[in-house]
Structure 1
C-alpha cells in the first residue's frame, strides 16, 4: 500500500512539474529564448528531483541546495501560472510574452522579500504573570526559539544572529524547542557552529529538546553529544529542578512513539513548571496537569503563504501566545526555516518573555 501511495505521489508531482515546465516553455518560446527540447526537459526534471538526488551522497550536496530553492519555485510557480492562465481565460488579454514577464517579475520579488524575512529575524516580546508558588524568584526573563534547522542554508552566520540578539536580552534561561539541526548534525560539526552556540549567556543555562528532524537524521546520540559540547542540555523525557527557582520538563518528540506521558514526568512540588514539547499537538493535557508555561515550535506558521491556513486548522495554536486555563502557551514560528530560505506570511523570530511572579 505504501508503495502504491508513493508511486501515486511521484506521478502527481511529475505531472505538476510538467504543467509548470509547459508554461515556462511557452514563455521562453515567446521570448525567443527556447533552444533545445531535450536539454530543457532534462534540466527541469533533474532540478525537480534534486532534493532526492542530494541525499544519495555527500558529494551531491549542491543538489540539496538546488532542491530547497526549487520548492519555492514549484509552489509559487504553480500558483502564478494558474493565476496567469485564469487571466488569459476570462479576459481578452492573451500576450504570453508580457504575462510571462510579469509572472517572472513577481516570482523574483517574492524571492527577495521572502529571503529578507527568513534571514532578518524579529524579536517578539511578551509579558506574563504567574503565581509565585515556592520560587525564590520574583521575576525572570526567558528566551524561546525553535526550528533553527542548522545546516547548509541556515548556517553559522544565521546562528550568530540568534546568539547576538539573545545575549542582548540578558535572559535568565534560554529554551531551544526542537529541530535545532536539519536532520544530520554533520554540518553543525563541520562548520564549527558549537563555538558560536557556546557564546550564549544566561543565568540558569540553555536547555533544548528533540524535534522530528533530529529523528529523521537518525544520529540522536551524536546530536546530544554535540549539543552538550556546545553548552546546550538536551532533555529527553525528563524533568529537572533548577535551584529553588523553577522546573523544566523536556518531552521527546511525537515521532518517538514510546515517549512517556507528561503525567509520568510531573514532579510534586510547587515551583513554576516549564515544559518544552516540539510539536503543539496537545495543549489539553499539559493544562490539566498544571503546567505553567508550555513551549512549542514545529509549525513554522506555514513558512510560505498560504500554508498557514493549513497549520491553523491542524493545531489548536499554530503561532503566538495563548492563555489556556492557567497555562501560558507559546508556539514559535522558528528562527530558521525548512527547505527554501524563504518566508512569506511568516518571519524568523525569537521570543523574549518577561515573567512576573505574584
Structure 2
C-alpha cells in the first residue's frame, strides 16, 4: 500500500512539474504564433513528457526512447531555470515579457544542449600514475573505461572513438568497468558494435564486468556471449592470475544480490591485486584486505550539473583517484552516458593508468 501511495504521489509531482514547464513553453510559443492550439500543444507535450515510458513498451517504439532521453535533460533544466525566468519576466519593461524572456531562455537551452552534446561525444584521456607497494617488477599500463551504455544514442561511432583512443595508447590491459550496454544488448549485436569492439588491442587482454544496466535488460547470457565474441572476457565474481604478474578480480554488480563478500575472492599470495567493481563500494573493506587498485564507474560524476551534489553525498568516492593506506581507488565518470547524450559539469572519458611497483619500507 505504501509503495502504491508513494508511486501515485511521485506521478502527481512529476506531472505537475511537467505541466509547469509546458505552460511556460506554451506562453512563449503563443507569443510567436498566436494561433497555436492549446489542446494540441498539451497533448503533444504530455506525449513528450511520458515518451520514455512509451519507448519501454518494445523495440518498435524506439523513436520514443530517443526523444524521451532528451526530455530528461529538458525537464531537469526546465525545473531549475524556468522559475527564475518567471521572476525575471516581472521586471521586463515590455508588453510582451513572455516573448523576450522566452527567447532568452530558448537561447540558454540551445547553449546547454550544444555544450552538453560536445562534452558527451568528445571524450578525453585522463592520466594517472600510481606506485604500488610490491617487489619491483615491470610497470603495468592500464586503460580503464566504464558506463558505455551502448545502444542507440551511445552507438557504433562513439565506441569507435574509444577503440581509436585506447589503441593509440598501446596498453598492456584494458578494463571495462560495467554498464557495457544500455539495458538491452540487442543493439550492440544488430548495429555492428561487436565488430568495432573486436578491434580493441591490448598486449595482455581485455576484461570487463557487468553493471546494473547490464542486468536491467535481463539478457545476461546473450550479453556475455556477445562480449566474449568481441574479445572481452567477462569476470563474474572471480579472481584470475594474469601472466603470473598480478591478480585481477571482477565483481558482479550489487544488482546481483547473492554476490559473495570480497574477502572470499582474495588471492592466496602477495602478488599485486586489482579489483573491478562497477558501483563504488565503501572503501574500508578493500583497504583492510590489501587491494592495490580498485576501479569503478556508475556515478557518471552526476553527468549533468548539479547532480554531482547528490553523488558526492551517496558515495564515499564518487569520482577521481584517492589513496587510503596502500590501496588506490579510481572512479571514472564513464565513456558514455545514460538518457540524454548531454554532459554538463562532467565529460566522457577513459583513463590511462601507469602502475609502478616498488617495495616500500
Structure 1 length normalisation: TM-score?
0.97
- 2:133 touches 2:326 (CA, 8 Å); kept in 1? no
Counterpart check, 1:198 vs 2:198: yes
Aligned pairs for 1:236-255 (under 5 A) are 236-255=236-255
What is the match of residue 109 of structure 1?
111
SS in 2 for 1:254: coil
Aligned-partner SS, 2:335: coil
Deviation at 1:93, TM superposition (A): 4.7
Offset at residue 92 of structure 1 (A) = 5.5
Shift of 1:29: 1.9
Once the two structures are TM-superposed, the CA of residue 82 in structure 1 deviates from its matched residue by 1.2
Task: For 1:32 and 1:92, locate their aligned partners in 2 and report how far apart those are by CA, in whole Å.
Answer: 21
State the SS of the aligned residue for 1:355: strand
Q: Which residue of 1 aligns with 2:100?
A: 98
Matches within 5 A, 1:62-77: 62-77=63-78
- Establish whether residue 14 from structure 1 lines up as the match of residue 9 from structure 2: no
- Does 2:167 align with 1:167? yes
Cα displacement string for residues 167-221 of structure 1 (whole angstroms, at most 9, x for unaligned residues): 0000010000000000010000101111111111111101111100011111111
| Contact map agreement 1:124 1:352 (CA 8 A) in 2 | yes
Partner of 2:265: 265
> What is the aligned partner in structure 1 of residue 122 from structure 2?
120
Q: Unaligned 5+ residue runs, structure 1?
A: none
Contact 1:296 1:332 in 2 (8 A): yes
Q: Is the 8 A contact 1:302 1:346 kept in 2?
A: yes
Secondary structure of 2:127 counterpart = strand
CA distance in 1, matches of 2:315, 2:117: 26
Instruction: Please state whether the residue corresponding to 1:141 is helix, strand or coil.
Output: strand
Name the structure 2 match of 1:226.
Answer: 226
Aligned to 1:326: 326
- Provide the secondary structure at the position in 2 that maps to 1:23: helix
Write the distance in 1 (CA, Å) between the matches of 2:34 and 2:70. 23
SS in 2 for 1:166: helix
CA contact (8 A) 1:132 1:138 kept: no
TM-score, normalised with respect to structure 2: 0.96
Equivalent residues of 2:88, 2:101 under 8 A apart: no
The alignment partner of 1:80 has SS state of helix
Q: In structure 2, the residue corresponding to 1:354 is in which secondary structure?
A: strand
Deviation at 1:283, TM superposition (A): 1.4
Equivalent in the alignment of 2:215: 215
Shift in Å at residue 131 of structure 1?
2.1
Shift of 1:80: 1.7
Q: Distance in 1 between matches of 2:295 and 2:154?
A: 22
In 1, Cα distance between the equivalents of 2:122 and 2:83? 30
Match of 2:5 in 1: 4
Alignment of 1:336-347 (within 5 A): 336-347=336-347
* Closer/same/farther in 2, CA of residues 243 and 114 from structure 1, 3 Å limit: same
Deviation for aligned residue 1:58:
1.2
Deviation at 1:88?
3.3
In the TM superposition, what is the alpha-carbon distance from 1:33 to its structure 2 partner?
4.8
Tell me if structure 2 keeps the 8 A contact 1:139–1:355: yes
Aligned to 2:89: 88
Measure how far apart 1:281 and its partner are: 2.5
Question: Over residues 12-32 of structure 1, what are the superposed CA-to-partner deviations in whole Å (9 max), with x where a residue is unaligned?
Answer: 111001100111111122223
1:55–1:92 distance in 2 versus 1, CA, 3 Å: closer
The 5 A counterparts of 1:144-183 are: 144-183=144-183
Residue 294 of structure 1 aligns to a residue in which SS?
Answer: strand
Indicate if the aligned counterparts of 1:87 and 1:93 stay in contact, CA closer than 8 A: no
Measured after TM superposition, the shift of residue 323 of structure 1 is 0.6
The more displaced of 14-23 and 70-79 is: 70-79
* Distance in 2 between residues matched to 1:340 and 1:227, nearest whole Å: 25
| 1:87 positional shift | 2.2
Give the match's secondary structure for 2:239: strand
Give the equivalent residue in structure 1 for 2:54: 53
Question: 1:23 matched to which residue of 2?
Answer: 24
- Alignment root-mean-square deviation, CA: 1.2
SS in structure 2 of the partner of residue 125 of structure 1: strand
- 8 Å Cα contact 2:48/2:67 also seen in 1: yes
| Cross-structure match for 1:129 | 131
C-alpha deviation, 1:253, in angstroms: 0.5
